[in-house]
Structures are given as structure tokens and as C-alpha cells.
Structure 1
Amino acid sequence: MARFLITLPGRADGGRGARPAFPDSVTDLRQAFGPFDHLAQVGRAAEIAGFHGALAPFDPEGDESLVVAAGLLRQSRRLRAVAGFHPGIATPVYAAKVSASLQRFSGDRLDWRLVVDLDPAVARAQGDFLEGPDRYARAEEFLTVAKGVWSEEDYTYEGRFYQVLAGGFQSPLAGRAFPRVHLSGTSKEALELSARHADVHVFDPEDDIEAAGPPGVTYGLRIPVLARDDDDEAWEAARRLSSGTAPGTSLRNGLVGSFETVAAGIRDYIDRGVGVFFLEAAPYVEETYRLGERLLPLLTKEGARVR
């Protein structure tokens, strides 16, 4: 049974790259619309349209994904929020505590999307100077410690990167479900990390899923989509997007075509073992409704039910 999630923009302005026309403050009650209202609209569209969840991606120049995820969880009743973040942003104890609090008021609807392998320049701009296999060694310890303090009241750990002495959560933080962990990458280190810690291993369309997938882990796929009533209309919209006349995301290696064509492409991935889809489409609000109303029902009819 496949699950479908929509990918949010990494920035409150919708990723347009320009400063929004409205003020940055969302607390000024004189303003009818603030920058985070766009993200809220996409989240509401995802829930109304029947998506299983929404991904708040890690964007080094964008809004903090855990803050965005908290907003999505607060305004929705069933939508799961996947927060993408880098393990260098905080200690695993603090990340676990923030997440336990989010689980408490959302009914355990928070997931993690850990981004381990950053471009070195991006990583250094985030204050992280680890390179090579050390990045995965730290991620291993990060997840080990986060799960340890989450599940044990008297937890002690001593590693290369983190140390905890007699830690662990008690009431009211204890007892919640640990966030589902989404990881990615095709290197040996990435696949071994997923085999030990991931609930979902997320691939890109160009990856060899059959050859690279870690055993015992659900396969996910990040894929751009553009669907219209027929193939010609879809490709014309894709040409407008690629020429810059329409705001959106890159369709490189994505699925473009009629709703039936795109549904067939997704069913092919399901047959290859993919169980979770992170769909990328823009403009975000409009396309979320469009895909929910026209694409997801086709997949439901074929047995790939949204849950």
C-alpha cells in the first residue's frame, strides 16, 4: 500500500527567490497574509486532497523545517509532517526533545528526513566541517543517542561525537512513538546506515533502486511530476516551466504527461518496490489540489491506496 506525500517549498516565500511583497512578521494583525501563510495553504491543500503527508525539506537558506513541521501539525488533524534536517543542527538529545514535544501535541505524526551528505561549502556555512565517512559515523551516533534517550530513563552513551550520562526522557516526554526515519544515498556508508536505522530509504529517479536498496527497509522515491488532461498539454506546461515563464521546480528525470501516463509511471515504481512517494510539483497550492483530485484517485483504483 503506497503512501504519497507532497514536498513543500523550502522557503516561506514559495521558493521564488525574491523578497515577498508582504512584511516578514506574521504577528502583525493588521496584515491579512504573512509569509508562512503560503506554507499553511500548501499543508491544508495536502490534507484536503488526500495526501498522506508533507515534507518540509532541509534548505540551508530557507526556513527551519522543524518549525514549518510544527505549523503543519498544529493546523491539521491527520497529515504527517516530515522534517528534513542536518544532524549538525543540534545535539541528538535536543532534537529528540523537540520532536517528543511535537509528537505529544500532534498524536505522533512527525517524521525525520535526515540529510547527511551535504556539499562541503554548504556544510561549512552551517558550521559543520566534518567530511567523508565521518559524516555517516556522526549520523549513526546521532540516531543511536536520539533513540536511546527516547526509550530509556537512565541512558548513558560515550562515543566519538556525543556523550550522555544518566540521561533519558521521563514523563511527560516519555512514551511517544519515535519519528519514522527517512534516509538517502547510494554509497556503502549510506546504505549501511539505512539498514541499521531507517524506516524509509529515499531514492532519486536516476538511482538504480533494485541494485542499491538496503534490505528490510521501505523504499521511497523523490520525484517531480507534472500532470494534465493529455500528454500534449502536460509537455507544453513543462516547456513553459523550463523556460522560466512559470514558477516551479525542475522536472529533470520526473514524470510528465496525462494523469493516466503519470499514474502508469508511478505504478511501475510501485511494481519495483517503492512504497513511499515524495511528489514535487509547482505552483505548490494549485498543483497539490490538482494531483490530489485527479492523480491519486487513479492510483487508488489500482490498489495503491493512500493511507
Structure 2
Amino acid sequence: MSDTPLHPAEPVTEANVFWFIPTHGDGRYLGTTHGARAVSFDYLKQIAQAADSLGYYGVLLPTGRSCEDSWVIASALAPLTERLRYLVAVRPGLQSPTVSARMAATLDRVSNGRLLINVVTGGDPVENAGDGIFLSHTERYEVTWEFLSVWTRLIAGETVHYEGKHIRIEDGRLFFPSLQRPYPPLYFGGSSTAGIDVAAETVDKYLTWGEPPAQVAEKVAVVRAAAAAKGRKVTFGIRLHVIVRETNEAAWRAADELIQHVDDATIAQAQKTFARMDSVGQARMQALHGGRRDKLEVSPNLWAGVGLVRGGAGTALVGDPETVAQRMKEYMAVGIDSFILSGYPHLEEAYRFAELVFPLLPLAPGNGRDKGEATNHGPFGERIANTLPPAPKETAALRQASAS
């Protein structure tokens, strides 16, 4: 990591909240076909439209050979939603920067400026080999830096002549610009020194997986200092799962139920697969639980059970609405302004989280459902005996949020 002095945390006062489009599968339990759900396009459409109407800022679409193609799915979903932004991956080494820039500019225009770019270098050598990539960890980040050097100039309207170690472009140009200028915002996650160097020099928002707040604070400080050393500023986001219920007891019970069908052999097989990866971020996720079931609460209300069998984001915030909101505010206090969330099943949990936690969060403009949007312009909830409006249930946390 950089020797530059660390910059102190800059707390944020408003949050953007994203949801997730589960193109690699969904269900009520992890590690089993029991309770699994067919992820048809109609189902993905339901999730996207729910996220749109509930007021999520955007949705992340995963990338990789275990997923439906994120660009095709985003292109199909965008016309079916109104405000929802789509965080879609570009893959340096898999795509030409010129082709990728054309795709991004087109989707940004046809979605009316609702595209966000997730720069994914990739950390699984086996999957990379299957896609024809045989580069070392360091070389992949070299490619990422060169790719972004070309991509950002192209989409900003420049004619590009470039010859690097890995990429050569002659008379590269884009005839149809993106709607967002100079280009759609760049999101990126990389925990290694090479990844942080790329982030500091090129991207707009640095992403981390859901580590405990103290570890996130340290990483934020390192990345902020590295960017400052290059005369830049970046903002920060975090990728987490959520298990929110009306009581803490119910939430922890739901966490246990989520992995109740996962046996030790399945965990061992998953951990063996993760161990072959050269991703520093994945190694940090594994270190939180060590493949063991007995110490999964790695920080207050931060549960690592998802990471027993799922790669990438492996932790969940677990608790009642007030507790989950408070834990999110702890991340905001160390500089996190964007939360990319998911939960199982994704359709139900999208509703549950928005209805229970959104009222307790200081949401940035563009998040949350407008109170005037109920179709009959009346109160939420069914009328009692077809006549009486339901009484609002106001918790102490809601009263405090309304007063602040």
C-alpha cells in the first residue's frame, strides 16, 4: 500500500442505496436446490420494477460465467423502468476499449443517462483461462489501467492513438457520445496495491466488500490518500447483503435458516474454489470466517455466513430496522456514501428493506419513494372494514428520523 500519510475519515450525511439483479440464481436458502427459484427474465423484471418503484438509486448486475450477460439484461430491463440506474460491468482484457465505449455510450443514451460503469478486472485464474485470459494479477491491472486510459478519452470525445504494453489503438474514435458527460461514472473495487493504484488514478467511486467498519475505515483512508497524492478525489461505496426483520431475534433466525441446508462438504468445496483465486478482496472475505460456522458474527450485526458458499460479497447486516440503519450510519461515518445491497430472495427482501429501513436513513435525493406516489393518493395500507384508514405505527427511531 501507499506510504502517503492517511487522510482522516470524511463522514457523509446522505446515502445512495442500490439493490441487486440476481442473474446467477436466487432462492430462500443457500447451497441447495431446495427453495430455489427459477431466474427467468420475467422474474428479473419483477425485481427491477420493484426496485424502481420502491426508490432504490440503482441496481448492480453481476458479471462472470456464472451469470447471464449483464449488458444484454440491462438493455432489456432499462426500458421497463423509469428512474433506476444500472451498474454494469466492463471487463478489461475481455473487451476492446473502443467496443466497450460504444456499448456504454449507446446504453447510456437509450436509458436516458441511467448507466453506471463497474470496472471488473477479475480474480479467478480458472475462469479467466476459460475466457482466454492468461495474465498474472499484476498484468491484469496493467491492462485495466491501459483500458481505462483509452476508454475515458474515447467516450469523452477524443480521437485516440495509443500504444501501451498490452493495448494498441490507431485512430480510435466514438461518433455517438454518451448522454452523461464526460462519461458515465466509473465504479471499481480492488483491494491489492495494484488495484488501489488504478482506483486512485482513474475511477470515481471505490467499492469495498462488507468488511467490519474499522477495516473499511482503514481502506478508505488508504485509497483517499492515494488519490490525493495524484491530485484527485474519489468517493466510496460498499457491497453488502441484508437480513432485516421486525425484531433482532427474527433476523438472526432468518440468517440461520438461510444456511440450514449447507453441509460441511459444500462449504469445503466452496472454500477450495475461493482459495485458487488471486483476488486480495476475496482472501480478505475468507479471512473473516475461515470456513467455520461457529464464529460468523465478525462485527456487531455483521454476519459472514453468506461467504461460506458465495464468492465476492460474503457478509450481511443482520437485525431489526433500527439496528441495520445504525450499522449503515457507522459506515457512513467513515466515508461510505453508497450501499449496494442484496438479500434472499431478492424480490421479497427488496420490499422488506425499503419498507422497514428507508424511513430510518438519510437518503440522498433520487432515493426513496415519493410519499405522493400511492396510486389512490391515500395512506399506505388497506382500509379497515373498507372505511377506516390504518393508523401509522411510529417507532422511536422513526420519530427521531422525522425530527432530524
Aligned to 1:260: 322
Instruction: Report the 3-state secondary structure (helix = DSSP H, G, I; strand = E; otherwise coil) of the residue aligned with 2:137.
Output: coil
Aligned to 2:283: none
Aligned equivalents of 2:124 and 2:340: distance in 1?
Answer: 22
Aligned equivalents of 1:253 and 1:73: distance in 2?
Answer: 29
Structure 2: which amino acid aligns with 1:173? Answer: P
Compute the displacement of 1:243 (Å).
Answer: 0.5
TM-score of the aligned structures, taking structure 2 as reference length: 0.67
Greater Cα radius of gyration, structure 1 or 2: 2
Runs of 4+ in 1 over 4 A off after TM superposition: 15-18
Compute the displacement of 1:132 (Å).
Answer: 2.1
Structure 2: which amino acid aligns with 1:6? Answer: W
Aligned to 2:364: 305
Aligned to 1:272: 334
Of 173-182 and 225-234, more deviation after overlay is shown by: 173-182
Compute the displacement of 1:160 (Å).
Answer: 1.6
Compute the displacement of 1:175 (Å).
Answer: 5.8
Q: Tell me the matched-pair count.
A: 287
Please tell me whether the aligned partners of residues 92 and 145 of structure 1 are also in contact (alpha carbons under 8 angstroms): yes
Aligned equivalents of 2:259 and 2:26: distance in 1?
Answer: 17
Aligned to 1:58: 63
Structure 2: which amino acid aligns with 1:209? Answer: V
Aligned to 2:45: 40
Q: State whether structure 2 residue 255 is matched by structure 1 residue 238.
A: yes
Structure 2: which amino acid aligns with 1:105? Answer: V
Please tell me whether the aligned partners of residues 155 and 165 of structure 1 are also in contact (alpha carbons under 8 angstroms): yes
Aligned to 2:168: 163
Deviations 1:166-216 (A, max 9, x none): 22112x336643121111122111111111111111111226222222122
Aligned to 2:344: 282
Aligned to 1:138: 143
Aligned equivalents of 2:158 and 2:255: distance in 1?
Answer: 53
Aligned to 2:237: 220
Aligned to 2:26: 14
Deviations 1:68-121 (A, max 9, x none): 221232211111000134323210110110111101111111111122141111
Tell me which of 10, 18, 32 is aligned to 1:5: 18
Structure 2: which amino acid aligns with 1:9? Answer: P
Q: Give RMSD over aligned pairs.
A: 2.2
User: In percent, how many aligned pairs have the same letter?
Assistant: 29
Aligned to 1:291: 353
Instruction: Report the 3-state secondary structure (helix = DSSP H, G, I; strand = E; otherwise coil) of the residue aligned with 1:133.
Output: helix
Instruction: Report the 3-state secondary structure (helix = DSSP H, G, I; strand = E; otherwise coil) of the residue aligned with 1:279.
Output: strand
Compute the displacement of 1:58 (Å).
Answer: 1.2
Q: Taking structure 1 as reference, are residues 96 and 192 closer, same or farther at Cα in structure 2, changes over 3 Å only?
A: same
Aligned to 1:102: 107
Deviations 1:231-256 (A, max 9, x none): 011111111111139xxx92753210
Higher relative contact order (CA 8 A, sep 6+): 2
Where does the alignment leave 5 or more consecutive residues of structure 2 unmatched? Answer: 1-13, 225-232, 263-304, 308-313, 367-404
Where does the alignment leave 5 or more consecutive residues of structure 1 unmatched? Answer: 23-33
Aligned equivalents of 2:345 and 2:315: distance in 1?
Answer: 18
Aligned equivalents of 1:176 and 1:229: distance in 2?
Answer: 40
Please tell me whether the aligned partners of residues 15 and 338 of structure 2 are also in contact (alpha carbons under 8 angstroms): yes
Aligned to 1:209: 216
Q: Taking structure 1 as reference, are residues 277 and 168 closer, same or farther at Cα in structure 2, changes over 3 Å only?
A: same
Aligned equivalents of 2:217 and 2:144: distance in 1?
Answer: 25
Instruction: Report the 3-state secondary structure (helix = DSSP H, G, I; strand = E; otherwise coil) of the residue aligned with 1:5.
Output: strand
Instruction: Report the 3-state secondary structure (helix = DSSP H, G, I; strand = E; otherwise coil) of the residue aligned with 1:156.
Output: strand
Please tell me whether the aligned partners of residues 23 and 44 of structure 2 are also in contact (alpha carbons under 8 angstroms): no
Compute the displacement of 1:153 (Å).
Answer: 4.3
Please tell me whether the aligned partners of residues 72 and 81 of structure 1 are also in contact (alpha carbons under 8 angstroms): no
